[in-house]
Amino acid sequence: MRLGIDTGGTYTDAVLFDDGRVVAAAKALTTKHDLALGIGAATEQILAGHDGTRIDLASISTTLATNAIVEGHGHTIGLILIGQKPSALGRSGLNLALGEDPVVFIDGGHTAGGEEQTPLDEAAITTSITELQSQVAAYAVAGHFAVRNPAHEIRVRDLIRELTDRPVTCSHELSSKLDVPRRALTAVLNARLIPLIQALILAVEATLERHAIQAPLMVVKGDGSLISAELALERPVETILSGPAASLIGAHHLCGRDNVIVADIGGTTTDIAIMRDGRPRLSQQGANVAGWRTMVEAAEIYTVGLGGDSEVSYGDTKILKVGPQRCMPIGLLALQHPKVLTVLRRQLEAPPNPDAGRFVLRQRLLPATGEAGLSAPEQRLWTCLAGGPLPITELLDDPRLERPLRRLRAKGLIVVAALTPSDAAHVLGHHSGWNTEAARIAATLWRRARYRSEFANDEALCSAIRECVVQQSAQALVLAALAGENEPIIVKSNHESLDDVLLRRGAGNNTADTLVEIGLRLRVPLAAVGAPAKTYYPEIAERVGAECVIPEHAAVCNAIGAVASGIVQRVSGLITAPSDDCFRVHLPSGIRDFQALEDAADYAKGEASRLARQRAAHAGSEQIEIVTDRQDTLVNGFGGQKTFIESTVTATAAGRPRLG
């Protein structure tokens, strides 16, 4: 028997899986301030009436890493760039990803051939590590041509471990591809996610221990395969798109369709992917989340900040929109904190205010740096929120708190509660689990403060919010399908282009007075999963002309996918020819020279296979099988002879997870 757990931005799901079928399933609210509470609640529900000691494997999928990137959350990290100039920050969006986090430039690095270009300045790096220690929760290290020779990155990593207790990520450990700014971006995201994934794994381990479950713990990667919890702690960036990858595996298992578009709608994001011949398509360029193009091998998933808990606002074109920022639904806030309803009633009697119906509360605990990592205004705001949620109208009576509020929200330490599609669903009678009165008051306050005459009542506003979710979801489906066919994605500007208008109209309702009727049709079935799927996706499928499949247990599909996969680890090496009589092998373990190409290739295959087997075992696999592949790059030389340029050798290790 296997236990699958999926921790999302709003709900935590748990399933018991036995002989290929779901024998129990449950949902509980995700408790970001203490993940163990939500995980424990969901697990206890499904273990009622079942013998937990029979569980021989536990596996987690999660959208926490994806959500943190989409929302721009994460702990402060220190980036150390070796042999790079400040201009590197302007490439691949690295400066935007860093934000205000510190960066240090250190002499060192290697050439394309793997030779040392400049000696590593160990004195400068020692000083920088010590100065940053009290400011950062983790370090990221990226060196010039580190994939051709990782020696300097490894030395900096060792110094950080000697001088501090902070985790460190080296870029060469995450990718073997060139482009140091993008590797640095991936390392930054990895370092920023370590505390988040650590909290998740510790929470699950505590739950397993409490129920005397002695089983290996696995985590789903972004490509749908599994890794051990220990490896996930070292490389949490590989759990980017873990949740949607698990939903792909789960959807394929549940609906049995080999060619299908899978849409997973949650609280924070909607994740869309294409399954062909029973396999998810892998991204050749690396996982793309919220515009960040990482070097993480993952399923090709189109992720948009659109879900049941998305913030309701007006876009640049003054058209109602939802997302990409997540808010806590007001109905849920009032359910958990009944005093909120009293404040909402009082705000109804006050003059209209754009911030009425909006609250702030703590979302998670402080990182390892504690309050020392906060500015004085941030500490003041953090202290104000110790007693529970506060209305933004009250907080912003002091204008000095506006900037720290934005900064704490960007760090993911606090969350704003406001009107969301989940609240609109309660007002319209589609859901009833939370406080409907609070949701209705929030809709009234939102409508009053913006003087929108087109919304005659709360139902009209909430119907428009629901229509936004349907239209934006339909547009996202079409864009994802076009991206799967390598069509260019529409680039947004301040004004709608003709493409924008056609796509929006095609995903909308064609009324009787419409002069131009525009229709869309997807040529493969649409499998919709996630808790809100039944609320929105039958109509969304109709808008895009697709057959809609919502399988049984669709609401816990990710948790099913978490236990229905296997382990895959890949190691790639490169063979170059720096001179006529030298073939150089570049691998994560270092470089080595040979006089003959075939000798270099044999060594590369053997060493890559050894490393891949080692990684698969570290990932928790047994009965490992190795497959190697070699791709030579040759060009036509004089006299029609082929000239060797380089060769890529890849070893793939696959196996089933080790059972308890």
What is the residue extent of each domain of the chain?
A: 77-191, 567-657
pLDDT confidence of residue 626: 93
Residue from 509, 516, 508, 520 nearest 545 by CA: 520
The H-assigned helical ranges of 175-322 are 180-210, 229-234, 242-255
Contact status, residue 170 vs residue 157, Cβ threshold 8 Å? yes
The tokens for 398 are 């002091």
DSSP assignment of 551-583 equals: -TTGGGHHHHHHTS--EEEEEEEEEEEEETTEE
Contact status, residue 305 vs residue 324, Cβ threshold 8 Å? yes
Reported as a pLDDT band with limits 50, 70 and 90, residue 380 is: confident
77-191 and 567-657, same CATH topology: no
Q: Is the pLDDT reported for residue 425 higher than 50?
A: yes
Looking at 327-427, which runs of residues are DSSP E strands? 328-329, 359-362, 390-391, 414-418
Residue 356 is given by DSSP the state T
Give 518-560 pLDDT, tens digit per residue.
666 788 889 998 888 888 999 999 888 888 999 888 888 888 8
Give 70-118 pLDDT, tens digit per residue.
666 667 888 999 988 888 888 877 887 787 889 999 999 888 888 888 8
Give 181-205 pLDDT, tens digit per residue.
888 888 887 777 777 788 888 888 8
Count other Cβ atoms within 10 Å, centred on residue 371: 12
Which of the two residues, 508 and 390, has the higher pLDDT score? 390
Q: Which fold has domain 77-191?
A: Rossmann fold (3.40.50)
Q: Could you check whether the bond before residue 119 is cis, i.e. omega within 30 degrees of 0?
A: no
Q: Which fold has domain 567-657?
A: Translation Initiation Factor IF3 (3.30.110)
Over range 197-215, report the average pLDDT. Answer: 86
Q: Is the pLDDT reported for residue 465 higher than 90?
A: yes
Q: Chain centroid to CA 121: how far?
A: 35
Pairing label, strands 138-143, 77-82? parallel
Contact status, residue 306 vs residue 323, Cβ threshold 8 Å? yes
Q: Which residues pair with 627 in a beta bridge?
A: 652
Q: Could you check whether the bond before residue 324 is cis, i.e. omega within 30 degrees of 0?
A: yes
pLDDT confidence of residue 583: 93
The span from the CA of 459 to the CA of 497, in Å, is 31
Give 344-364 pLDDT, tens digit per residue.
999 999 998 888 999 999 887
Q: How far is CA 639 from CA 350, 393, 580, 581, 636, in A?
A: 87, 79, 18, 21, 8
CA dihedral 523, 529, 534, 537 (to 10 degrees): -30
Contact status, residue 378 vs residue 400, Cβ threshold 8 Å? no
Give 282-291 pLDDT, tens digit per residue.
776 666 665 6
Contact status, residue 271 vs residue 301, Cβ threshold 8 Å? yes
Which residues fall within 8 angstroms of residue 464, CB to CB, at 6 or more apart? 320, 454, 455
pLDDT confidence of residue 240: 72
Q: Which residues pair with 259 in a beta bridge?
A: none
Burial level of 90, CB count in 10 A (0-12/13-18/19+)?
Answer: exposed
Which of the two residues, 399 and 512, has the higher pLDDT score? 399
Over range 463-467, report the average pLDDT. Answer: 92
Pairing label, strands 414-418, 390-391? unpaired
Burial level of 413, CB count in 10 A (0-12/13-18/19+)?
Answer: buried
Q: Which residues pair with 15 in a beta bridge?
A: 4, 25
Q: Is the pLDDT reported for residue 249 higher than 80?
A: yes
Over range 375-400, report the average pLDDT. Answer: 85
Helix (H, G, I), strand (E, B) or coil at 465: helix
The span from the CA of 301 to the CA of 274, in Å, is 8
The tokens for 579 are 């001179």
The span from the CA of 54 to the CA of 215, in Å, is 9
Pairing label, strands 292-293, 288-289? antiparallel
Please measure the distance between the N-terminal and C-terminal CA atoms of the chain and give it in whole angstroms: 10
Residue from 349, 574, 367 nearest 445 by CA: 349
Reported as a pLDDT band with limits 50, 70 and 90, residue 489 is: very low
Residue from 311, 374, 329 nearest 137 by CA: 374
pLDDT confidence of residue 594: 93
Q: Is the pLDDT reported for residue 472 higher than 80?
A: yes
Q: Is the pTM of this model over 0.85?
A: no
Q: How far is CA 605 from CA 173, 503, 574, 618, in A?
A: 19, 48, 10, 20
Q: How far is CA 304 from CA 197, 552, 658, in A?
A: 22, 25, 35
Q: Is the pLDDT reported for residue 326 higher than 80?
A: yes
Q: How far is CA 310 from CA 304, 371, 419, 428, 516, in A?
A: 11, 29, 9, 17, 31
The H-assigned helical ranges of 485-568 are 498-507, 533-543, 557-562
The span from the CA of 256 to the CA of 258, in Å, is 6
Give 252-261 pLDDT, tens digit per residue.
888 888 888 8
